[in-house]
Every structure is written in C-alpha cells, then in structure tokens.
C-alpha cells in the first residue's frame, strides 16, 4: 500500500501507536485493558477511557493515538474499557456493557472519564452528567449533546461532524457527472445521528435522494444493486453493524461488507472515514479520529491540572483530509487531473 501524506500537520505520520495487548472477547463480559497508555504505575491521578466499540476498529485506534499524544506527557494513569457495541448491537448487551463501565467507575474512582462515540454517551456519560465527580470528557459524538444531558457542570467534550458537503464538492471537482446520491449506512445510533445532521445541512454539490439503513446483508446488497442504477454515486458512512441475517447476534466483518460493495457497485462510492477509503470507497474528505482523541485528551489533562469542565467549552472537530483510492478510480475509469492530485492529502494504491 502506498500512501502520500501532505497536510495533516504531521499527525498521521507520528508513529505513536497505543501499546495494547488486546484480547477483546466476542462474548460477555466486555474487557478492561490496564495501562493502555503506558503511564507510570505510581501516579494517582486517573483517567478511564470508555470506548463504545472494540479495540480492533480503525476509528478506535485513531482516537487512542490522539489520546496518547495528549495524555502521555502528563502524569495520569489510564485504563480503557471497550463496550464492543459495533459487533454486538442488541440492547441487552449495550445495557450490560454500560452497567459494567459504571461499576468500574464506582470501583476505580477515576478523576476523568473520557467517553468515546455515541453509545458510551447513551449508557455511561448520560448517567454521570450532573454528578459532582468524576469529570466527563466526550468525543466522537454525532448526536446532539442535549440528547445525553449535556452540557452539565461536570461535562465537556468534542463533537464529531462528518464533512459531508465538502466530500460531495471534492468528488464533483473531478467527477462532474455526479448529480444524485443516496446515503447508505448501517442501522445504528451513530447512523441515525448522522442522517439527522446531513438533513440539517444546506444543499450540497450533489443532490441526496434517499437515506438507507439496512439491518441485514441481503438488505445491504439489495440497496447497492438497486441504487447503482438510480444514482450517480453512493455515499457510504459506516457498515459495521450489518448482520448476516436477522437472527445473527454478531455483526459481519465490515471489510467483507465493503469488499462486496466495491466489487458490485457500478458507480463511485463516497466515503467519510479513513477505513472506508482503505476498504474500497473511491474518495472523501475524511474525519480525523486522531483529532477527536487529541482534543479530548487535552481537555482531560486541563481538568487534571485544575480546570473545571464547565470552564472548557464544547468544541467541534474541524480537521478534514482529502483521500483517494486510485485502484477504485482505475476500476471505474475515472481520471483525476494532475492539478487536483497535487492537492490530495492521502493517496492509496491497493
């Protein structure tokens, strides 16, 4: 795989990988992983990171890199809890995972809890909002903060907003025939929040004609084949909770879903996250999990050093990086002008 990185301010080139030895069970109970950020054992100030998803998920790894960049230089001891709600999406599992996280918080008494992505807000952050302690710093939140009882005196954090219209304009710049798209995403709380957000945006360079949230792989396949004949581009957000069938408890491997999609879709696929373009989307202006984690980590460190959460205003991630999968461009017969290629942050050829 060849990648060219130009503009991310060095953030993607920094080789600070989270030093985690991970064995996240696919069956209950969810696991905690001690010392994920390699902080000294003697430090008493504590941060608990509660991830909605599992450690192997690329977005989680990116958020962890950003958290490490911010927290590693501090004197905090960090532990991490993974709720694993991408692979297990039934409500009983989510409630159980959230309850275990809350029990760990009561037992370990962290000074700051970093809640990552929307399920962690639903089942953990919202239960902590308004308490005297611990402080809560959220990130990766697609939903409106009021949904989770934010703002509160002990809560601050980072909102995640996808670069939807920017992605449409980016594709249009070298594929002007694109006029209609459909937003295809999995059946999850993240997807519902993103659809609400996209609907609130002014019209972009390409008209959005429908929003589809399949539960099963059959439904996903049907949507891809059907809309390939009706629109000029299919916009795909996430595909991580798609089930093999309605009875399945565990979600399919997401790369398997996208591999089928890339093979059978006859129009360009627009992506919004780094793994999407890696997995087979043509291009996008992508959200930065590193930025989300770094901003949240900086807030956590500020709180450990005496700031109150309500002194730190909520912010929205702003960094977007352009990315193109040249293998998919070649498959679709799309030529990207050299002048545009020079401006692209990440070029993937695989």
Q: Is the pLDDT of residue 12 over 50?
A: no
Distance CA 273, CA 91 (A): 26
Please tell me the predicted confidence (pLDDT) of residue 67: 97
Taking a C-beta distance cutoff of 8 angstroms, is the pair 312, 156 a contact?
yes
Give every CB contact of residue 338 below 8 A, 6+ residues apart in sequence. none
DSSP H helical ranges for 109-243: 118-120, 126-128, 164-174, 189-200, 217-228
Q: What are phi and psi of 29, to 5 degrees?
A: -90, 160
Q: Is a pLDDT exceeding 80 seen at residue 334?
A: yes
Q: Please state the separation of Cα 143 from the chain's center in Å.
A: 12
Q: What is the pLDDT of residue 190?
A: 92
User: Given strand 77-82, what is the order of strands in its sheet?
Assistant: 32-34, 77-82, 46-51, 112-116, 135-141, 155-159, 315-316
**How many degrees, rounded to 5, is the angle at CA 144 between CA 53 and CA 105?**
45
Model pLDDT for residues 72-106, shown as the tens digit of each residue: 888 899 999 999 999 999 999 999 999 999 999 99
- The pTM score is 0.80
Position 319 scores a pLDDT of 79
Q: Say yes or no: domain 164-287+321-348 is CATH 3.40.1280.10.
A: no
SS3 266: coil
Mean pLDDT (the chain) is: 88
What mean pLDDT comes out for the span 162-170?
96
- How far is Cα of residue 167 from the mean position of the Cα atoms in its chain? 16
Give Rg (Cα) of the chain.
20
Dihedral Cα 309, 313, 317, 318, nearest 10 deg:
-150
DSSP 142: -
For 203-222, what is each residue's pLDDT tens digit? 999 999 999 999 999 999 99
Per-residue pLDDT tens over the stretch 38-48: 444 444 699 99
Instruction: Give whole-number Cα distances, 169 to 129, 173, 178, 196, 205, in Å.
Output: 38, 6, 10, 20, 5
Tokens matching residue 285: 């202006």
Fold classified for 32-161+289-318: Rossmann fold (3.40.50)
Q: DSSP for 50-105?
A: EESS-TTSHHHHHHHHHHHHHHTTSS-EEEEEE--TTTB--HHHHHHHHHHHHHHH
Least confident of 19-33, 94-108, 206-220, 313-327: 19-33
How many other CB atoms sit within 10 Å of the CB of residue 310? 13
pLDDT value of residue 26:
37
Structure tokens at 167: 């992605």
Domain with CATH 3.40.50.2300 in the chain: 32-161+289-318, 164-287+321-348
């Amino acid at each position: 795989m060849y990648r060219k990185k130009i503009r991310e301010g060095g953030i993607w080139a920094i080789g600070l990988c989270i030093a985690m030895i991970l064995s996240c069970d696919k069956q209950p109970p969810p696991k905690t992983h001690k010392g994920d950020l390699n902080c000294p054992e003697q430090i008493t100030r504590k941060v608990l990171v509660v991830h909605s998803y599992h450690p192997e998920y690329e977005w989680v790894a990116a958020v962890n890199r950003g958290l490490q960049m911010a927290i590693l230089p501090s004197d905090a001891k960090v532990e991490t809890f993974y709720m694993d709600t991408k692979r297990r999406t039934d409500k009983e599992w989510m409630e159980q995972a959230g309850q275990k996280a809350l029990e760990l918080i009561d037992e370990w008494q962290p000074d700051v809890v970093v809640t990552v992505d929307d399920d962690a807000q639903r089942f953990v952050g919202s239960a902590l909002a308004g308490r005297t302690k611990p402080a809560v710093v959220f990130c990766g939140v697609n939903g409106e903060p009021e949904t989770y009882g934010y703002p509160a005196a002990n809560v601050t954090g980072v909102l995640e907003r996808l670069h939807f219209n920017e992605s449409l304009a980016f594709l249009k710049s070298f594929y002007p025939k694109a006029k209609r798209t459909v937003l295809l995403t999995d059946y999850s709380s993240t997807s519902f929040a993103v659809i609400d957000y996209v609907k609130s945006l002014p019209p972009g360079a390409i008209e959005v004609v429908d929003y589809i949230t399949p539960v099963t792989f059959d439904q996903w396949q049907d949507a891809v084949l059907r809309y390939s004949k009706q629109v000029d581009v299919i916009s795909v957000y996430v595909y991580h909770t798609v089930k093999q069938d309605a009875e399945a408890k565990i979600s399919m491997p997401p790369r398997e879903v996208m591999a089928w999609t890339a093979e059978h879709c006859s129009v360009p696929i627009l992506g919004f996250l780094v793994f999407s373009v890696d997995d087979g989307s043509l291009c996008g202006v992508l959200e930065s999990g590193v930025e989300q984690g770094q901003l949240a980590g900086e807030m956590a460190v500020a709180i450990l050093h005496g700031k109150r959460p309500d002194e730190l205003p909520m912010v929205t991630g702003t960094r977007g990086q352009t990315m193109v999968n040249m293998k998919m461009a070649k498959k679709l017969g799309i030529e990207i002008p050299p002048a545009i290629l020079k401006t692209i942050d990440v070029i993937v050829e695989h």
